[in-house]
């Protein structure tokens, strides 16, 4: 039996370790275009996209970034051709099954955000298993947004709070930003500091609408399958040059 060599990414010398984002979010766009440019079916782009995501996750962990959230499937993505939707669902399931041992070995805690009840049952089971098995891992928090929509998340938080008010368990004036955050899928997690979107689109596409309020946004023309560690290094350099004021003035 051969054991795979463990790849470790060293933090580039020009990045300041104390000024790294704690949480990076990614919109992995451009898989279809990457495949089309090579005369390949779109699904090949998604396959390659998984490799890119795995490398980025390792790199984040090795460089000391505490959390990575990836937008894998939006509530709008159901509108794609059925063959592509089916392929993506099967891909998520297969990747989860294949990578579970590696996530354990690499101390990755995986979580999912989105309306998971609408996913195929076999995928829900695989998700449940991976989430439970990895729940005590502490190397990095990896969140996968699957059947996720930011507006839908906000509406479900409103419903949950309204139900508590209706039952007399909560007063409207007790609803604060903190309490509201606790009713989102991302309760208890730090908001992203940096959002990366590949393939040049200047939109957030219904991703983490509440949580991205103060995130720095980095858009690159690179297509997701080509987004390697050197591209990530560039994104972090750009992030470290930003002046994060959170609406205040500099002293």
**Footprint of ligand FPP on 109-148 (CB under 6 A):** 144
Nearer to ligand FPP by C-beta: 70 or 194?
70
250: left (phi over 0), alpha (psi -120 to 50) or beta: beta
Judged by CB under 6 A, which of 32, 139, 150, 192 binds ligand FPP? 32
54 binds ligand FPP (CB under 6 A): no
Give me the least distance between CB of 209 and ligand FPP, in Å please: 18
Distances (CA, A) of 244 to 20, 74, 215: 12, 29, 9
Radius of gyration of the chain (CA): 19
Per-residue contact flags (x/-) with ligand FPP for residues 60 to 99, judged by CB under 6 A: ----------x-x----x-------------xx--xx---
Nearer to ligand FPP by Cβ, of 94 and 244: the residue is 94
Distance (Å, rounded) from C-alpha 251 to C-alpha 240? Answer: 18
The DSSP letter of residue 145 is E
With 0-12 CB in 10 A as exposed, 13-18 as middle and 19+ as buried, what is 29? Answer: buried
Q: Considering the complex, state which of residue 92 and residue 207 has its C-beta at the smaller distance from ligand FPP.
A: 92
Give me the catalytic one of 29, 31, 141, 193.
Answer: 29
The interaxial angle of helices 229-241 and 42-63, nearest 10 deg, is 60
Look up 77 and say whether it is catalytic. Answer: yes
Among the listed residues 28, 59, 119, 236, the single contact to ligand FPP using CB under 6 A = 28
Residues contacting 102, CB < 8 A, separation 6+? none
Which position among 20, 24, 25, 50 is part of the footprint of ligand FPP (CB under 6 A)?
Answer: 50
Tokens 């980025």 locate to: 56
Q: Is 9 or 41 the residue whose CB approaches ligand FPP more closely?
A: 41
Which residues of this protein are in contact with ligand FPP, per CB under 6 A?
A: 28-33, 46, 49-50, 53, 70, 72, 77, 91-92, 95-96, 144, 199
User: What residues are labeled active site?
Assistant: 29, 77
């Amino acid at each position: 039996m051969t054991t795979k060599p463990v790849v470790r990414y060293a933090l580039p010398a020009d990045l300041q370790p104390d000024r790294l984002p704690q949480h990076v979010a990614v919109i992995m766009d451009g898989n279809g275009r990457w495949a089309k440019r090579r005369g390949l079916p779109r699904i090949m782009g998604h396959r390659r996209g998984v490799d890119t995501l795995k490398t980025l996750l390792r790199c984040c962990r090795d460089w000391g970034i505490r959390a990575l959230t990836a937008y894998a499937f939006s509530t709008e993505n159901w509108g794609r051709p059925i063959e592509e939707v089916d392929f993506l669902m099967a891909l998520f399931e297969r990747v989860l099954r294949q990578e579970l041992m590696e996530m354990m070995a690499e101390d990755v805690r995986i979580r999912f955000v989105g309306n998971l009840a609408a996913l195929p049952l076999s995928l829900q089971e695989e998700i449940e298993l991976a989430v439970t098995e990895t729940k005590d891992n502490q190397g990095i928090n990896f969140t996968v947004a699957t059947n996720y929509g930011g507006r839908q998340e906000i509406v479900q938080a409103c419903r949950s709070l309204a139900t508590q008010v209706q039952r007399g368990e909560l007063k409207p004036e007790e609803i604060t930003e903190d309490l509201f955050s606790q009713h989102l899928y991302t309760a208890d997690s730090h908001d992203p500091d940096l959002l990366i979107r590949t393939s040049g689109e200047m939109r957030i596409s219904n991703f983490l609408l509440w949580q991205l309020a103060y995130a720095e946004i980095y858009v690159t023309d690179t297509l997701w399958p080509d987004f390697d560690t050197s591209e990530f290094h560039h994104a972090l350099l750009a992030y470290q040059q930003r002046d994060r004021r959170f609406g205040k003035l500099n002293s």
